[in-house]
Amino acid sequence: MTRKTSTTISRRRFLGGATALALTRKLAFALPQSPEPSPGRILAYVGTYTELPGPGSNGHGIELFAADLRTGELTHRGLAAPSRNPSWIAVHPSKKYLYAVNEIANFQGNNGSVSAFALDPSTGALRALNIVSSEGTGPAYLSLDATGNFAFVANYGGGSIAVLPIREDGALGDAVDVHRNQGSVGSTHASDAPAGSFAISGHDAPHAHMIAPDPHNRFVLATDLGQDRIYTYGFDRRNGKLTPPPEPAFAALPTGDGPRHLAFHPNGRWLYSIQEEASTVVFFHYAPATGHLQPQQTLSTLPRGFSGTSFASEILVAPNGKTLYAANRLHDTLAVFSIAPEGRLTCIAETSTLGDYPAQCRIDPGGNFLYVCNQRSDHITSFRIHRDTGLLSFTGHYTPVGNPGSITFIA
């Protein structure tokens, strides 16, 4: 999220007036002729920003790449599908469908939307299935339940979360459940922000930022940046309904800190939360039977002695459970933490993202490379993960792509 000052406009504020990009519900977008991914390569999709404040935006929709599993290099294979601000994308467990939020505020009135595509896993081609309302403005995050029957969406501008059914043909249905957070917003300034920070994002109202099921597909967790809360809902896998568990229904973060994204440890009992405005990581014990969270530790994602403004963005746990990575925007680094046997963190390094404003990062399915979407410098950088230490080394590959927002893979 961009700092709100007299000279910089938040990406959330422009959405209502953005120019529409026509997209028919049955559009099939033809990729340039290219061979199927060769052995040692997998498909990668990148969602881009097509509508941003300022003189113009450089994204065109959802781009398709081939990822080299040996070198980390991304090779562009074409525009998989035009789409309005597909800032977050997710692939169905069957690998037959892809879903993208459209981070806008004028779909069928005052809503954002979610687009569904049929996916050809052999070529990567996408075919548009349909577009439905996200039931709130500015959807910023999308995830799927383990069965592939429901999609969860968090609407930043609308302060709401919604559950969308996935039909047998992969198309989306209208929301079967919607929860809108009300009131109880936190402080304008983060409690744990560095000295001199003007990292002021969104404590003017509730702002749902992430929603995802737990590893057991029993509960759904959702962050609200404006309320400084992580909500837990019981998830009914038959009808998609979300119900608050017995008290407490949420874990409270320090006022103003702004919880953004979450990452589970592979053991399913530890959870890590990154706070956008405070630039902190909080380690929680997670109770799989109740969905409750108990905070254990808080650490900064910035170096000791840092002062000024930075916005934390993404948090990842390595597949082997030994390392955690946290991205910082403006500081433009990845903080690298070792994970102790009891789950506590120790910062062991920081690595430059070699780009401007890392919006999102993702580890490839093999756990060998970490890819960073540097939104403002229009490229993705890749880093080799050294499994014995968790440390990162740049592969030498810069991949040009206009305003990248998120990347995901098909193994």
Q: Mind giving me the DSSP string for 346-408? A: EEEEEEE-SSS-EEEEEE-TTSSEEEEEETTTTEEEEEEE-TTT--EEEEEEEEE-SSEEEEE
Report yes or no: 76 and 395 within 8 Å, Cβ to Cβ.
Answer: no
**pLDDT tens-place string over residues 247-263:** 889 999 999 999 999 99
pTM score, whole prediction: 0.91
Report yes or no: 92 and 170 within 8 Å, Cβ to Cβ.
Answer: yes
Q: What is the separation of C-alpha 26 from the centre of its chain, rounded to a whole number of angstroms?
A: 27
Mean pLDDT of 373-396: 98
Query: How many CA atoms within 13 Å lie on the side-chain side of 42?
Result: 16
More confident residue, 38 or 372: 372
Rounded CA-CA distance 338/324 in Å is 6
- DSSP letter assigned to residue 15: G
**Exposed/middle/buried for 237, CB within 10 Å: 0-12, 13-18, 19+?**
middle
Mean pLDDT of 211-220: 97
Instruction: Answer whether residue 305 shows pLDDT above 70.
Output: yes
In this prediction, residue 16 carries a pLDDT of 38
Length of the chain: 411
3-class secondary-structure state, position 17: helix
Report yes or no: 15 and 157 within 8 Å, Cβ to Cβ.
Answer: yes
> Which domains are delineated in the chain?
1-143+155-175+406-411 (2.130.10.10)
In this prediction, residue 247 carries a pLDDT of 82
**pLDDT tens-place string over residues 311-344:** 999 999 999 999 999 999 999 999 999 999 999 9
Query: How many CA atoms within 13 Å lie on the side-chain side of 155?
Result: 28
Confidence class for position 214, pLDDT limits 50, 70, 90: very high
Report yes or no: 212 and 218 within 8 Å, Cβ to Cβ.
Answer: no
Instruction: Answer whether residue 276 shows pLDDT above 70.
Output: yes
Mean pLDDT of 122-129: 96
Rounded CA-CA distance 100/406 in Å is 10
> Mean pLDDT over all residues of the chain?
91
3-class secondary-structure state, position 131: strand
Report yes or no: 351 and 336 within 8 Å, Cβ to Cβ.
Answer: yes
The secondary element (H helix, E strand) that includes residue 114 is strand 113-119
Amino acid identity, residue 258? G
Instruction: Answer whether residue 399 shows pLDDT above 70.
Output: yes
Instruction: Answer whether residue 205 shows pLDDT above 60.
Output: yes
**pLDDT tens-place string over residues 141-166:** 999 999 999 999 999 998 999 999 99
Q: How far is CA 188 from CA 196, 197, 203, 254, 255, in A?
A: 14, 11, 6, 12, 8
The CB density around residue 7, as the number of other CB atoms within 10 Å, is: 5
Mean pLDDT of 184-194: 95
Report yes or no: 212 and 221 within 8 Å, Cβ to Cβ.
Answer: yes
- DSSP letter assigned to residue 128: E
Q: What percent of the chain has pLDDT over 90?
A: 86
In this prediction, residue 245 carries a pLDDT of 78
Closest CA to 88 of 32, 144, 169: 144
